[in-house]
Each structure stands twice: as structure tokens, then as C-alpha cells.
Structure 1
Amino acid sequence: MDKKNALRAGALAAGTTLMMLLMSSPALALTRDDGDDPGQGLSVIETLGLYVVAPLVLFGVIAGLVLVLDKSHESHRVTTRNVKTKPKAASEA
């Protein structure tokens, strides 16, 4: 039974992939559209700066702001100093 389902799933995945490849037309990417006015391409340095360095800097700024502006109280944090491990007495329950 499992082999039949696996075969069906594989055939469906292969068929879907084949249809997607046949329906897409990468050759049309070379044809210019009316009104198409692309600008200058980016250099390697500009590309790395835009897609690698800028997100890392943005992540660092956000993480730094979260750490600096953290207003949570020490008693709300889960640490080994404020965990009470002693069980309640039977008379308190």
C-alpha cells in the first residue's frame, strides 16, 4: 500500500515539475518589452553590499536595540537564582 502511494506521489511531483518547466519560457527573457528601460547593472561590490552587508547590519542594529532597550525585570527572567526548588509543605496545600 505504501509503495503505491509513494509511486503516485512521485508521479504527481514529476508531472507537476514537467508542466512548470514546459509552461515557463526563459527564452522570452531576452525579448525586450515596450517601454522597458533597464538601468546600469550593479558591480560585485554593490551587489554584496546590498544583499549581504546591509541585511547583516540591519540585523545587528535590531538585535542591539532589543538588548539595550530590554525592560524586563530580573524576577521575570528564568535563571538559576530565582528558581524555587523546595516543595511546598503538606500543611500549606
Structure 2
Amino acid sequence: MSNKVNKNVLRAGTITAGTALMLLMSSPAFALTRDDGDDPGPGLSVIETLGLFVALPIVLFLVIAGLVMVGDKSPKKAGSKG
């Protein structure tokens, strides 16, 4: 095997091992039983979920884009021709 292939194999093995370790460390997050002191709040309705994860990002994008457009207005040069 060439040196380039060896590097790719090593990289793939490292990524696989790292991913496996991350999954093993996060396994309590997917537990079927709740821990002591774990008190989840009330669930979101469909409207609240759409507002939070769809409407709010769109509104924030439009506000930021509007601020960029307002701040980017540069005066037009009168005497320049193509």
C-alpha cells in the first residue's frame, strides 16, 4: 500500500474510533429511565415549535440582512462612466 493510502486508512480509523467513543460517552443521554433530579418542563405545541424553529430564524435572518443592507449603502459617484 502506498503512503497516501496508509494516511487515509489511519485517518478513517481515527475518525471511527473517535465517533465510537463519543457515542459511548453520550449513552446516558439516551437512557430509558430518568435520573434523580431530572424534571423536564412541559412540551411545546406545534405552533410553538414552528415559531421557535422556523419563524424565529427567518425573522432573525431578515433583521440581520436588513441591517447589513442599511449599513452598506454607499454614496453613488456622479462623474463615473463605464
> Fold match, TM over 0.5?
yes
> Which amino acid letter does the alignment assign opposite residue 74 of structure 1?
K
Structure 2 unaligned residues grouped into runs of 5+: none
> What is the RMSD of the two structures over their aligned residues, measured on CA atoms?
2.6
Where has structure 1 moved over 3 Å in runs of 4 or more?
26-30, 65-71, 81-84
Aligned residue pairs total 78
Higher RCO structure (Cα 8 Å, ≥6 apart): 1
The Cα shift of 1:83 comes to 6.1
Which structure: greater helix fraction? 2
**1:30 aligned onto 2:30:** no
> What is the TM-score when the length of structure 2 is the normalising length?
0.69
Could you list the runs of 5+ residues in structure 1 that have no partner in the other structure? 76-80, 85-93
CA displacement at 1:46 relative to structure 2: 0.9
TM-score, normalised to structure 1, is: 0.62
Separation in structure 2 between the aligned mates of residue 20 and residue 83 of structure 1, nearest angstrom: 60
Identity %: 47
